Amino acid sequence: MKLEKFIEEIASLGLPVDPVINFIKVLYVAKKLPYEIEIKRTQYPYPTEVLFEVEDWIVDLVRKYYLILTGISETTVYGETANVRYYVLTEKGFDLGSQIFQKYLENIITKLVGILSKYPPTLLKIIALSAINLRNGKATWLSIKIEGLNLDTALSGATSALEISVMKPNQLFRIYEASKRVYGDLRLVLEGLKKARAKIYEPRIYDIFMSRVLINYNGKVLKKALSFMEDLSALELAIKIPVYSSKGEYLGEEYRAPPEIVYILDEWTSNIDLSQIRRPFLAVELIIRALREKVAKQSLLEALNKLGIPEEEIKAALEIMYEQGITSRYNEAGGPDSPAFIILNKTKAREEIEKTIDFIENIILYARKE
């Protein structure tokens, strides 16, 4: 449905237009909005907490136009600790929501440009890339959690998510079935994910990987990104909402903004190149991996080849860390499955990680647009 036609019909019904349009816009920005939580306790009926309020006639109206889902299974998550109810737009509702958001955006574009000008372009590039869907390369909803993660957790989470994303939709399921049938375990799944990991080191995918880690890591980049999202929220271009697990557990809050914002950020930062942070970030990733598992020489060489980094650079970097007592030398004599290097001093390795991440974040936050 065209926005103009929808507005005409609301007015024809003798109803105020703005509250309806604003409600749909909020749902579009949030993508999935929790509005009520039923906390499971010993007494019944369970106590209910309202998370988002809107007048009943507005909800009834958008339901009659099939703009929001109505099925209980589609709108309620039944968890062990709580039941959470959501407002979710239908496909028709998302289409109308996008029209509403774009029209609103046109009216405040000058204010948005003023906000974009306040922030480092490299930071905005990182924010945009964190919301790119790897399966189709398109922008999706931008989500930034208020509480950041430690670096190890942020890195492992982003790695797992990208390993699955770079595989074809049905590929993982087929591998799982074959592995269970042939071996009775998940060895083929693990091998498949290991092969998928190599694709992460293609420059465009690695930039997305770095961005997701840095946006989820509780560091300076996240702090500045949250400030940016707060500014967007003040313009009603983003929203802060509570997040719940499938069990109904409260996980904290996060900011969300729709794909249109991601498109704008990507266009605004189209000339920004992240190659200057790939090398130090790869160093951080390799050290963290070496602290918990073997970094095979073949996997290291594949990563270097895809990122266009000479083997000699890693050799020289490891020589410096060897002299500092952090790692071994580069294993030149090693075969494909041999460790490329090992950690000698875990405490010093952690200090090196912190120092390098600080260096990376300073590049992102203080690089200027040319």
- Please choose, from the candidates 42, 19, 20, 142, the residue with its C-alpha nearest in 3D space to the C-alpha of residue 93: 20
Residue 187 confidence (pLDDT) = 58
Phi and psi dihedrals of 31, rounded to 5? 70, -50
- The span from the CA of 332 to the CA of 349, in Å, is 21
Query: Which residues sit opposite 239 in a β-bridge?
Result: 256
Question: What is the token pair recorded at 240?
Answer: 């802060």
The b/e string for 220-247 (b: 16+ C-beta within 10 A; e otherwise) is bbbebbbebbebbbeeebbbebebbeee
Specify the pLDDT at position 241.
Answer: 97
Q: What is the pLDDT of residues 217-232, one digit of tens each?
A: 999 999 999 999 999 9
Categorize the per-residue pLDDT at 159 as very low, low, confident or very high, splitting at 50, 70 and 90: confident
Question: What does the domain layout of the chain look like in residue ranges?
Answer: 3-95, 108-268, 275-366
Mean of the per-residue pLDDT values of the chain:
92
Q: Which of 196-200, 243-247, 314-318 has the lowest mean pLDDT?
A: 196-200
pTM: 0.91
**pLDDT at residue 332 in the model:** 95
- Whether residue 309 contacts residue 331, with contact meaning beta carbons closer than 8 Å, is answered with no
Q: In b/e form, how buried is each residue of 300-334, taking b as 16+ CB within 10 angstroms?
A: bebbbebbebeeeebeebbeebeeeebbeebbeee
Cα gap 84→71, rounded to integer Å:
14
- What CATH architecture does domain 275-366 belong to? Orthogonal Bundle (1.10)
State the pLDDT confidence band at 161, using cuts at 50, 70 and 90.
Answer: confident
3-state DSSP call for residue 150? coil
pLDDT at 370 over 50: no
State the amino acid at position 133 in one-letter form.
N
User: For 263-273, what is the mean pLDDT?
Assistant: 96
